[in-house]
Amino acid sequence: MIPIPQYPLYSALISLLNGTPVPYYLDENKGWGLDMDNLVMNYRKAKDKGLKVKGIVVINPGNPTGQVMTRQNLVDVTNNLLIKM
């Protein structure tokens, strides 16, 4: 899974390795913050399509947006999503 907007290196590397990018969208209206509902929704959509999600790019502070994730966002990602992968 990769954040959108994202540093192009991530999508290029996924393509190089014949993978399928699974985007999750940062919320511009919240200072490019992580929207956990969007992250989980896109994870589930990928799983429903038969994709095996193997990893997630979590950039803190973000590139190119410069946002800094909240402590709660970090806890949510590690406790709610990484456990499912």
**What pLDDT, in 10s, does the model give residues 13-34?**
999 999 999 999 999 898 888 8
pLDDT tens-digit readout, 51-62: 999 888 888 888
pLDDT tens-digit readout, 34-50: 888 899 899 999 999 99
pTM attached to this predicted model: 0.83
| DSSP reduced 3-state for 78 | helix
Instruction: Return mean pLDDT, the chain.
Output: 88
Q: Which of 76, 71, 16 is nearest to 24 (CA)?
A: 76
Q: Which residues pair with 4 in a beta bridge?
A: 25
CB 82 within 8 A of CB 56: yes
